[in-house]
Chain A
Amino acid sequence: MVTKALLAVFKKDIALAYRQIAELMQPLMFFVLVITLFPLAVGPSPETLQRIGGGVIWVAAILSLLLGMERLFRDDFADGTLEQYILSPIPLYLIVVVKVLTHWLMHIVPLFLISPLLALFLNLSVDMYVALMLTLLLGTPLISFVGAIGVALTVGLHRGGVLLALLLIPIFIPLLIFATSAIESASMLLPYQPQLAIIGAMLLFSVALSPMAIAYSLKVSQS
């Protein structure tokens, strides 16, 4: 019964995302635009691009995910669906996990699909590309889960967007450091498992604890 309910939440969120496809595309377009502008701005020298490439993609990924993040609970809060979620027999933190994962899936899959092209733009080597994909795979769910706490806290405020970025960006600095350091190691053909392991540990930690924090923040934002 719980599985059925969570599946219903999943299906509903997918349907909603596809009915506002323009909003879904916004973060992706932002991501693509930032990365295409970089080679034009810093010059087309392949060495420079290769050196900054990993970092550029990561910064663009964080900012574009944050851009799409606000949508996560906004509509549910506005139309009262959130109230019905809270007053349902299904624990709120499970609903929240499904919502965050669905949101992540809808935003990150297109980003993954387009990234080989962008890696080519920035002259990333195959090793760097593999490292980039692995760090994105481990790091972006972390952004979604931790970011969702901030979104849940600011959902009752109007125009919480800038506040959200101010709250969240400092938290993502460690992630950014380890992710770019993994890509740098890969570019020198050095092992980068330690960095991946640390990002993985941060991810597991956030998956374990953030659903409670998100659910609590959502309840607080109701009163």
Chain B
Amino acid sequence: MTILVAQNIACEKSDRRLFSDVNIHLSASQLIHLTGENGAGKTSLLRILVGLSAPARIESAPARFESAPARVESAPARFESAHARPESASAKPDDASTNEFTQGRVEINGTDVHSNTDQASEKLLYFGHKQGVSQLLTPVENLMSWCKLHNIVVSEADIITILGELGLTGLEDLPLKNLSAGQQRRVSLAKLWLKTHANLWVLDEPFTALDVNLIASLENKIREFLQSGGAVLMTSHQALNIDHPITNMHLEYQW
């Protein structure tokens, strides 16, 4: 089952073209590991894919000559059906006319993310650089209000159990500003345990500031999620140790 389709995504930041003609096809139980140097545009790509920012409108004709395509390769042997296609396959019918502007599109679960963000994000979980938790609220308050917003029915006891699993026992009632950076990220990561009806996780550097044990249990959680039919798109600078086929996708740094 197809979960995320992105076509001809381009991104420009202050006149620099970060990438163009990125095509992604993500199906159920598939994990795409997005790599690239600092500044290559990984976060920008993820933000476009979930609908937080719009893809750049680019002139389609010159774009083909100027930009190197995002290199997409599949993991050796273990995974036969790499769905992420290289750029050459995506010739557009309107290439002939000059000055034609095209804007890429992204669909999550069949819904366009830019025109209908609310519906598209129903089964999406986005974990970005910003944690999405308030420093002044306690972990329980933060997660409770997040759950209500995302249509998740949980009791306070459920949240406390999950926080316990993440090693935050006894810290449930402290304002977040009193916790360490890693502990704050754990609170935010509890969302992965809570949003059980999600079928797509978009994780931007989820391992930052986590200790070895939690990295292992997070990798285990990702594996379980993939096996239950979820799809994961993530960036990480470290090698993934997940017992599941991994599709690698590399973004080249462009000037």
Q: Is the CB of A222 within 8 A of B53?
A: yes
Residue in contact with A1 in the complex, picked from B54, B135, B151, CB distance below 8 Å:
B151
For the complex, is A86 an interface residue (Cβ under 8 Å from B)? Answer: yes
Q: Hey, which chain B residues are within 8 Å of A12, CB to CB?
A: 134, 137, 141, 145
Per-residue CB contact flags for chain A residues 9-40 toward chain B (1 = under 8 Å, else 0) read 10110011001100000000000000000000
Q: Find chain B residues with CB under 8 A from A15 CB.
A: 136-137, 141
Which residues from A are CB-within-8-Å of B117?
86-87, 92, 219
Q: Which chain A positions have C-beta within 8 A of B146?
A: 84
**Chain A residues in 8 Å Cβ range of B54:** 223
Q: Which residues of B95-154 are within 8 A (CB) of A?
A: 117-119, 121-122, 124, 126, 128-137, 141, 144-146, 148-151
Say whether B118 contacts A91, CB under 8 Å: yes
Spot the interface stretch: A74-82, A162-170, A186-194: A74-82
A79 proximity list for chain B (CB < 8 A): 130-135
**Interface status of A85 (Cβ within 8 A of chain B):** yes
Interface positions of A from 179 to 223, Cβ below 8 Å from B: 219, 222-223
B44 to chain A, nearest CB (A): 9
Q: Which residues of B contact A1 (CB under 8 A)?
A: 151
CB distance from A50 to the nearest CB of B (A): 43
Given A87-B52, A222-B52, decide whether A80 and B141 contact each other with a Cβ distance below 8 A.
no
For residue B85, CB closer than 8 A to chain A, the reply is no
- Contact for B144 among A8, A87, A219, CB less than 8 A: A8
Is A8 a contact partner of B134 (Cβ separation < 8 A)?
A: no
Task: Tell me which residues across on chain A come within 8 A of B137, comparing CB atoms.
Answer: 12, 15-16, 19
A80 adjacent to B130 (CB under 8 Å): yes
Size bin of chain A's contact surface: 20 to 34
B121:A80 contact, CB within 8 angstroms: no
Interface centre among A19, A83, A90, A92 (most CB of B within 10 A): A83
**CB pair A11 B145 closer than 8 Å:** yes
Those of A63-81 within 8 Å (CB) of chain B? 75, 78-81
| A87 and B134 form a contact (CB under 8 A) | no
Residue B206 at the chain A interface, CB threshold 8 Å: no
Q: Which residues of A contact B51 (CB under 8 A)?
A: 86-87
In the assembled complex, the CB of B162 is this many whole angstroms from the nearest CB of chain A, namely 17
Question: CB < 8 Å: which of B52, B148, B150, B151 contacts A83?
Answer: B52
Encode contact with A along B155-174: 1 for CB under 8 Å, 0 otherwise.
00000000000000000000
State whether the Cβ of B50 lies closer than 8 Å to any Cβ in chain A.
Answer: yes
Cα–Cα, bound, A8→B146 (Å): 8
Residues of B contacting A89 in the complex (Cβ-Cβ under 8 angstroms): 118-119, 121-122, 150-151
CB of A83, distance to nearest CB on chain B (Å): 6
A4 lies within 8 A of chain B by Cβ = yes
Whether a CB of chain A sits under 8 angstroms from the CB of B244 is no
Whether B118 pairs with A90 at a CB distance below 8 angstroms is yes
Contact with A along B168-196 (1 / 0, CB 8 A): 00000001000000000000000000000
Q: Which residue of B lies closest to A11 (CB)?
A: B145
Q: Which residue of A lies closest to B188 (CB)?
A: A80
B148 touches which of A5, A75, A78 (Cβ 8 Å)? A5
Are A81 and B52 in contact, CB atoms less than 8 angstroms apart? no
Q: Which residues of B contact A45 (CB under 8 A)?
A: none
Taking the closest CB of chain B, its distance from the CB of A9, in whole angstroms, is: 7
* Chain A interface (Cβ < 8 Å from any Cβ of B): 1, 4-5, 7-9, 11-12, 15-16, 19-20, 75, 78-81, 83-92, 95, 219, 222-223
13 chain-A/chain-B pairs, Cβ below 8 angstroms = A1-B151, A7-B148, A12-B137, A16-B134, A16-B137, A19-B136, A75-B134, A79-B132, A81-B133, A83-B126, A87-B50, A92-B117, A223-B53
